[in-house]
Structure 1
Amino acid sequence: MLGTRFRQRWQNWVDYPLRQGAVYAGKYRVERFLGMGSYGQAYRCIDLSSGLPVLMKRGKPSKRGLAREMLKRESDMLQRLDHPQIPKWLDYAAHRKEEVLVMELVEGDNLEHAIMEQGRMFTQQEALYLVRQLLRPIRHMHEAGYVHRDVRIPNVLASGDRIYLIDVGLACRIGEAAAEGEPIGFADSWGAVKHRMRVPEPASDLYGLGHLFLFLMYAGYKPLEGQEERGWEEELALEPAVKAFVQGLLESKWRTAAECEQELDRILA
């Protein structure tokens, strides 16, 4: 027990965010700490050479070599992707024993924040059009040989009229085995869903897209008082063609994002 508490305190200490105003690698001034994931920390910074804001992703010091390995893999992948709905790679910089990935900063709110904090709700049509926009960067990734593996509302960002797919930290090559140390089991209630999303095949991203659509629809769902919980097929008032489309996403009906796009375009038309 004492050892566990000590390790937790040590981890909290070494992973403490960089202070505001700190200059990293002589290039980037930290403006704001944005958040922390399993392997990295994100900061809004100013590129001192251009004066422009950028996103800097720093590997969590407590994760040591694994964080550096995953950050380098993410950097290599971003350099091979070129799509207007995926943040662009800008730099990979070293500072002492640490390394950081610098990319385009997209200003906006992710869907999780929009739904949970702002109370945003979506009509069936709005949710379908959002899915249609997301299929474009997903298709680009698949055609480049990668699968995102984390298509969820925290990783979808709205900036003006454009929808971005962000955070390729868990992405990998299609068919690639899990990296050593990467979590493959999940203890929370969404464990089975996340486990399916981690399979390195294109259908995993379409499966994630199906659950994302359901999240959008449930944002405005209010069950009747005393009503027993039912499946989404009964609880959500979806048109038959839309219900069949969502089932297709969840049941791996389509092998590619392109096939999925064709079916969705038919429904939207």
Structure 2
Amino acid sequence: MAEQGPLSGQKVGDKYVLTELLGEGGFGIVYKAYHLHLQRQQAIKILIERLFQKKAFRERFLREAQTVATLDHPNIIHIDDFGIESTQAYLVMPFIKGGTLQDVLRKQHGFLGLEQIAFYLEQICTALDYAHARGVVHLDLKPHNLLIHDDGRLLLADFGLAHLMKQGKVEGGSSLRFGSPHYMAPEHIRGNPERQSDIFSLGVILYQMLVGRLPFQGAPMEAIMFKNVTEWPPSPRTFRPELSQEVENVLGKALAKRADQRYVTAGEFLTAFKGILVRPTLSLERLKVKEVRANEKPDRENAAPLTELIRSLDPGREESATLRHKVVGDAKGHIWQKQLEPQHLGQSLATMEPIKIFCSYAFEDEKFRDEILQHLNWSSPTIWYDCKIPLKTDWFYLREKYLDEAHIVLLLISPDFLRSNYPNSLEIHRIMEKHSVGKTSVIPVNLRPAYGYWGGNPISGLLDSHQALPTNARPITDYPDRNRAFEDVAQGIQRVIQRVMQDHLNSTQQKMQPDKLLPLPPEPKVNSQPLLKIETISSPDLA
């Protein structure tokens, strides 16, 4: 039930009606509001009444509006309106219904994956560098002030404590001591913040995303501030042993007690963190690939996750004739390419163009993707493009490129997937047009119940026409035996793969001389061909 505040139901600026209370801070209170003329939802921040009576706070509120109005960046919230009335001042912004980064951390009940961290970190860093380049330091950077747009973008908000820099120094008086204690740099606590103070706050956020907790917690705020100045936080490897020393080194530099020992810019911080992700996290010599026949029970508990395999292989390096992996994207775009070539190909398959599968899914559904890959039998040369939704805006061209090349498009359906802008994107409209004329095959796979989210997007018709998997359109999570559900999904995908193979071979044979025609390969049966399995060899270095 929506929370009501003391101003709920009142009209502001003669055109905004305040509805539910969204949040309250030390200086302002935020309401959801309805714009009577434009008929849309807004978020309105109102200066607390007792502070409105003080000139210094009215000027600071106006400065916040003016500061944000000068910033035009896709990862910074913009200002729609500002007004001062006889008893209040207000600031109008878009209503962002996706919650905050704090909500994401709370929902995870722990740490985030390194790829997801890099995705969020990049957006924060680009926003910070943009603001810093224009002489603005935020000074209240924390997950609560990072809003999540419908398309997955992070939006930096709440510039109430932001100050301008002049000749490298932050201008201001006593207000420079205000902030959120857990995220305040030592020099900020002393009342002398600078640009690198935002880097320290970003380091605290990275710590949270890595281990699921704050560096210092449970103590009074005064004690937290004292520890930020005098103590180093516990090593993140204490809570997450699999993290590398390189991760700890990057984090340690961001959290340095002296500002001049931290990264100079947020971009430098980002580059250091992303540099860790492209290095192998497992030794190539300690990975082995073997075939598991249908009559053998796969040892999935000891199988390395495919995401770990992705991180472990050097881009472009061939590990074996069975598995070749090539990176076409990075943590920024979250598109990777995996090329599978069966060891014993007939002449017809050896000369055939690889089948290209483009798989899209929400961050939360990666485990379902892993299960589908485990159940598929790779009986033909295949390139698998993997795409986590959402993507950063400037990577849309890469997603569109590989989506357009795909013979088969898998859409792993869940509420998180359908809540994004992706199902209604121009790319999906185009791919559905190709599907309608038989130029590609779009297969929705129901992972989790998503009733109420289907309507209005171009893929909803596939569910209505019973083209979704599993074959009865029942979500995988509703199956008492999920293994049977994944087998059903694998069979459906492989039926489409077989049809695409036959179309390709028919096309190839039509171009060949009659005496060189090649026989069609037999239709693969589920679990009759070798399964590809990745295992790690036990080693202290991999523990």
User: What band does the TM-score fall into relative to the shorter chain?
Assistant: 0.7 to 0.9
Structure 1 position 101, deviation (Å): 1.0
Q: Of residues 12, 18, 32 in structure 2, which corresponds to 1:24?
A: 12
* Counterparts of residues 139-158 of structure 1 (less than 5 Å): 139-158=129-148
Q: Of residues 78, 82, 92 in structure 2, which corresponds to 1:92?
A: 82
Q: Is the 8 A contact 1:185 1:191 kept in 2?
A: no
Q: Aligned partners of 2:123 and 2:85: how far apart in 1?
A: 37
After superposition, what is the alpha-carbon deviation per residue over 1:159-197, rounded to whole angstroms, capped at 9, x for unaligned? 3421121111111112233344x3727897x48657647
TM-score relative to the length of structure 1? 0.80
Q: Of residues 222, 228, 231 in structure 1, which corresponds to 2:234?
A: 231
What is the identity, as a one-letter code, of the residue corresponding to 2:193? P
After superposition, what is the alpha-carbon deviation per residue over 1:230-261, rounded to whole angstroms, capped at 9, x for unaligned? 82244133222221111121124321223223
Match of 2:486 in 1: none
Q: Is the 8 A contact 1:34 1:43 kept in 2?
A: yes
* Counterparts of residues 98-109 of structure 1 (less than 5 Å): 98-109=88-99
* Counterparts of residues 34-45 of structure 1 (less than 5 Å): 34-45=22-33
Match of 2:262 in 1: 253
Judged with a 3 Å threshold, the aligned counterparts in structure 2 of structure 1 residues 158 and 19 are, in CA distance, closer, same or farther, namely: same
What is the identity, as a one-letter code, of the residue corresponding to 1:216? M
After superposition, what is the alpha-carbon deviation per residue over 1:187-233, rounded to whole angstroms, capped at 9, x for unaligned? 97x48657647743221111111111111222289xxxxxxxx8224
Judged with a 3 Å threshold, the aligned counterparts in structure 2 of structure 1 residues 121 and 246 are, in CA distance, closer, same or farther, namely: closer
Q: Aligned partners of 1:93 and 1:146: how far apart in 2?
A: 22
- Work out whether 1:125 is the aligned partner of 2:119: no
Q: Aligned partners of 2:20 and 2:192: how far apart in 1?
A: 34
Judged with a 3 Å threshold, the aligned counterparts in structure 2 of structure 1 residues 131 and 61 are, in CA distance, closer, same or farther, namely: same
Structure 1 position 107, deviation (Å): 1.7
Match of 2:276 in 1: 267
The number of aligned residues is 244
Q: Of residues 153, 165, 177 in structure 1, which corresponds to 2:171?
A: 177
Q: Aligned partners of 2:192 and 2:25: how far apart in 1?
A: 20
RMSD of the TM alignment (CA)?
2.8
Q: Is the 8 A contact 1:40 1:58 kept in 2?
A: yes
Q: Of residues 233, 242, 248 in structure 1, which corresponds to 2:247?
A: 242
Match of 2:305 in 1: none
Q: Is the 8 A contact 2:120 2:154 kept in 1?
A: yes
Give secondary structure in 1 for the equivalent of 2:83: strand
Percent of paired sites with the same residue:
22
Judged with a 3 Å threshold, the aligned counterparts in structure 2 of structure 1 residues 268 and 71 are, in CA distance, closer, same or farther, namely: same
Give 5+ residue unaligned stretches, structure 1. Answer: 1-15, 222-229
Judged with a 3 Å threshold, the aligned counterparts in structure 2 of structure 1 residues 120 and 241 are, in CA distance, closer, same or farther, namely: closer
Give secondary structure in 2 for the equivalent of 1:167: coil
Match of 1:53 in 2: 41
Q: Of residues 90, 97, 102 in structure 2, which corresponds to 1:112?
A: 102
Q: Aligned partners of 1:23 and 1:75: how far apart in 2?
A: 20
Match of 2:205 in 1: 212
Give secondary structure in 2 for the equivalent of 1:49: coil
Q: Is the 8 A contact 2:10 2:18 kept in 1?
A: yes
Q: Aligned partners of 1:172 and 1:114: how far apart in 2?
A: 28
Q: Is the 8 A contact 2:188 2:194 kept in 1?
A: no
Judged with a 3 Å threshold, the aligned counterparts in structure 2 of structure 1 residues 109 and 119 are, in CA distance, closer, same or farther, namely: farther
Structure 1 position 49, deviation (Å): 1.9
Q: Is the 8 A contact 1:45 1:54 kept in 2?
A: yes
What is the identity, as a one-letter code, of the residue corresponding to 1:130? Y
Structure ID, larger Rg = 2
Judged with a 3 Å threshold, the aligned counterparts in structure 2 of structure 1 residues 199 and 27 are, in CA distance, closer, same or farther, namely: farther
Judged with a 3 Å threshold, the aligned counterparts in structure 2 of structure 1 residues 41 and 205 are, in CA distance, closer, same or farther, namely: same
Judged with a 3 Å threshold, the aligned counterparts in structure 2 of structure 1 residues 35 and 126 are, in CA distance, closer, same or farther, namely: same
Give 5+ residue unaligned stretches, structure 2. Answer: 215-232, 279-543
Match of 1:7 in 2: none
- Work out whether 1:164 is the aligned partner of 2:155: yes
Judged with a 3 Å threshold, the aligned counterparts in structure 2 of structure 1 residues 166 and 120 are, in CA distance, closer, same or farther, namely: farther
Q: Aligned partners of 2:131 and 2:180: how far apart in 1?
A: 29
Judged with a 3 Å threshold, the aligned counterparts in structure 2 of structure 1 residues 194 and 34 are, in CA distance, closer, same or farther, namely: farther
- Work out whether 1:75 is the aligned partner of 2:65: yes
Structure 1's consecutive aligned runs of 4 or more residues displaced over 6 angstroms after TM superposition are 185-188
Q: Is the 8 A contact 2:77 2:93 kept in 1?
A: yes
Judged with a 3 Å threshold, the aligned counterparts in structure 2 of structure 1 residues 42 and 25 are, in CA distance, closer, same or farther, namely: same
TM-score relative to the length of structure 2? 0.41
Q: Aligned partners of 1:80 and 1:187: how far apart in 2?
A: 24
Give secondary structure in 2 for the equivalent of 1:216: helix
Q: Is the 8 A contact 1:185 1:195 kept in 2?
A: no
What is the identity, as a one-letter code, of the residue corresponding to 2:194? E
Q: Aligned partners of 1:22 and 1:122: how far apart in 2?
A: 41
After superposition, what is the alpha-carbon deviation per residue over 1:82-125, rounded to whole angstroms, capped at 9, x for unaligned? 01111111111122232111122222121223333663641233
Q: Aligned partners of 2:177 and 2:80: how far apart in 1?
A: 30
Q: Of residues 127, 142, 165 in structure 2, which corresponds to 1:137?
A: 127
Give secondary structure in 2 for the equivalent of 1:109: coil
What is the identity, as a one-letter code, of the residue corresponding to 2:15? K
